[in-house]
Amino acid sequence: MKKLTLVFVFLLVAWFGVQQALADINTPQNVVPCVPTTIQPCTNLAPSLEGSLPEILNPTVLIKKPLKLGATGLAVKALQQILHDKGYLKGPIDGKFGLNTKNAIIEIQKLMGLKKIDGIVGPETMISIQKSEEKEETIEIISKKSSNKLFKDYACKESTEGKLSIWTGETYDKAQEYLYRLSDVWSTTDGINWEKEANTTKMGEGSERMIVKVKDTIYSFGGKYKPTGGESDTAIYKSTDMVNWTYVGETPNFSRYFDKSAIYFGGKFWIISSEETTGGGVMGIWNSSTGEKWTKVADAPWDGLKKNSVSNEKSGYDSNSLGAYVIGNKMFYLVYDRGTMTIFSSSDGKKWTNEGALVNSKDNSDFNIGTNTNPSPVVYNGKVWIMSTIVGTSDPIVINTSNGKSWNLVSSSKTNFVPGYYSSDVVFKNKLWKIGGMNNASSNDNTIYSSSDGIEWEKMEVKGVSGFPGPADRYLAGAMSMENIKTKATDLKIEREYNATSFFTGNDEKGTTLGKWKLYAESGKNTKNTGDIIISTLSFLGTDYKSSLGNEFSTLESLSNIKIYINDVEVGSISKFGGPFYDKSGKTALPQTIILDKPYTIKNGENVWVKLTADFPAPKFKNYEMRTWLAGVGFSNAYNTPCSVYTDDTSGGFDKSPGRTIYYNR
């Protein structure tokens, strides 16, 4: 009887524990998943892993109990992922709220100027985490030699090798049973060692972007979903490094059910579209000289009614096209027409010729190749290549053509890459590459393959990737390689304003200038690095002051209404510095940081004046002296971080770059 009683009590406690957990956190299993179909668009899009907190951390809906030291579970794990991605948390993402997680929260609470600095994640702190920027690389300004103060060598090595990048896409996390759309960027120079270059870009989340390379510029065209809803994403961006993207314009406003390809032909961009559903959908051919304004050139000559469907545990995907490509003086498009995968060609985009079915040129047999519109076919060794899967099987297939019409079977069932749809297929280092994708056996391939002939494929060992998702944990992603990446940022030279000495008035000070520094973006002798410098934060130190009463403090502690100006325009402010002002020993002063309202760009050859102002009370002690130093500069990312930071100013005898020295003697 005692045993039965104990079992009952145990089960009762366990039941209450489960109910409490469900009350605190609405886990991903409780969220109705979005399964996009050709009939019903997604309206409850899955959360992103990057850039903002997942829905399981929604402060107003799903979490009813603050997260704090000792907490465990999915919400903690998701929180840790965000803190890790933003650069505030090091160590394992294990779902256990320990001291490392608490300290990361405290750091954000201080940076965001919250009144309560307690390391507890309630609604206010959650909102601050959402709004907080990524923790940027900061160069601490230290002297190296008196003749030329070289503060730090950084990113000085010119990128002479080619680079392969993959960005955005979708991924299904089996552990969390959740579908994510991504916004990150990964890159490699050898296909083995990978680096996460950005958690998010201006493009935001997205999938199935059309990618076009024109000389040294990469263009990314729209996608199947907007980051905020179920419509098609029509935004166009361009980049020279596949990390920093600039808005160009909008594509035509297609429905979300269209297949499409973007190509560059005859000095213009072309978008070729085929509808997946009946009812007179959006099909046709458009072109644009710059990508800003589009003209419809012709209606589509194909019906596009047949399609192939692929699905994973949470979503289904349809496609009726194998994409567009250019050979010689013609454009080609592979699309279902009257139930057959058909080759269409055109030399002007207006008149299209039906070149017949896509079949094996040797025996006229049907390839029965599965559609895969992401991305378009790739050009390698003077031929156009398609790597996909035979419909209804797990057999991969590789085909190519040299004239656009006659296609050859390169390999089929003997091909040793894992079969998959919607992988990222690119050419890099004179090889074919196949990254990620999804197949019938698993949601993601999680693999990277390369081949020099399309027959023998090598599975690459992936290094530098920890956690999920990595570069291969995705499908419908954008990918491209570049052989000559633009050089990294130029050098940064710092000068101070001379004769910057003044005296207190004896009253409270308002808007007093504590320092002015001139920042030069100049290549100097390092002519290989000429890119933009983008500043995101500035850090300062004050006088380490000991009063006549014996108490020691930093002069920055008394400041309020602190503002940063660049060329006399306010670019950042904070009500008070949050500290800590000293390390644990109490002897070493710590820099205080201001995050700019938005990153500030200084182009090579330009210079700007940075000014620090603040309010502070009249000093209580005699012989008061306030000194302010520029102690550190933070940059938006590695490519916009200077190769070196230096000054030719050797006067003053200070290790840091000095600002004003203000005296008061009552």
User: Do 173 and 292 share a domain, yes or no?
Assistant: yes
For position 274, what pLDDT does the model report?
A: 86
User: Do 420 and 468 share a domain, yes or no?
Assistant: yes
User: Do 148 and 117 share a domain, yes or no?
Assistant: no
Q: Residue 269 in contact with residue 331, Cβ under 8 Å?
A: no
329: which 2 tokens?
Answer: 């003086």
User: Do 219 and 293 share a domain, yes or no?
Assistant: yes
Dist CA 632 CA 134 (whole Å): 17
11 inside domain: no
User: Do 233 and 266 share a domain, yes or no?
Assistant: yes
For position 374, what pLDDT does the model report?
A: 60
Q: Which string of b and e fits 399-426 if b means at least 16 CB within 10 Å?
A: bbbeebbebebbbbeebebbbbbbbbbb
Task: Name the pLDDT band for 143 (thresholds 50, 70, 90).
Answer: very low
- SS3 of residue 106 by DSSP: helix
Q: Residue 52 in contact with residue 130, Cβ under 8 Å?
A: yes
For position 341, what pLDDT does the model report?
A: 93
Q: Residue 53 in contact with residue 78, Cβ under 8 Å?
A: yes
User: Do 194 and 62 share a domain, yes or no?
Assistant: no
For position 566, what pLDDT does the model report?
A: 96
User: Do 544 and 520 share a domain, yes or no?
Assistant: yes
Among 221, 204, 195, smallest CA distance to 637 is for: 195
User: Do 372 and 506 share a domain, yes or no?
Assistant: no
User: 387-404 pLDDT, tens per residue?
Assistant: 888 887 767 889 999 999
- % of the chain beyond a pLDDT of 70: 72
Burial class of 441 by CB neighbour count within 10 A (0 to 12, 13 to 18, 19+)? exposed
Structural domain total, the chain: 3
Q: Residue 122 in contact with residue 63, Cβ under 8 Å?
A: no
9 inside domain: no
Q: Residue 252 in contact with residue 272, Cβ under 8 Å?
A: no
Long-range contacts (CB closer than 8 Å, 24 or more residues apart) made by 310-313: 310/370, 310/421, 310/422, 310/438, 310/440, 312/172, 312/438, 312/443, 312/444, 313/172, 313/174, 313/177, 313/443
Dist CA 187 CA 141 (whole Å): 30
The CATH number that applies at residue 560 is 2.60.40
309 inside domain: yes
User: Do 177 and 263 share a domain, yes or no?
Assistant: yes
3 inside domain: no
316 inside domain: yes
- Residue 435: Cβ within 10 Å count: 28
392 inside domain: yes
pTM listed for this prediction = 0.56
425 inside domain: yes
Dist CA 40 CA 36 (whole Å): 6
205 inside domain: yes
145 has a pLDDT exceeding 90: no
User: 628-662 pLDDT, tens per residue?
Assistant: 888 888 877 666 777 777 777 655 444 567 777 77
User: Do 83 and 99 share a domain, yes or no?
Assistant: yes
Q: Residue 582 in contact with residue 591, Cβ under 8 Å?
A: no
The CATH number that applies at residue 72 is 1.10.101.10
User: Do 458 and 607 share a domain, yes or no?
Assistant: no
358 has a pLDDT exceeding 80: yes
The CATH number that applies at residue 236 is 2.120.10.80
Q: What's the domain range around 526?
A: 137-155+489-664
User: 477-535 pLDDT, tens per residue?
Assistant: 999 998 766 556 788 888 888 655 666 666 788 998 998 999 998 866 566 677 788 88
91 has a pLDDT exceeding 60: yes
User: Do 210 and 120 share a domain, yes or no?
Assistant: no
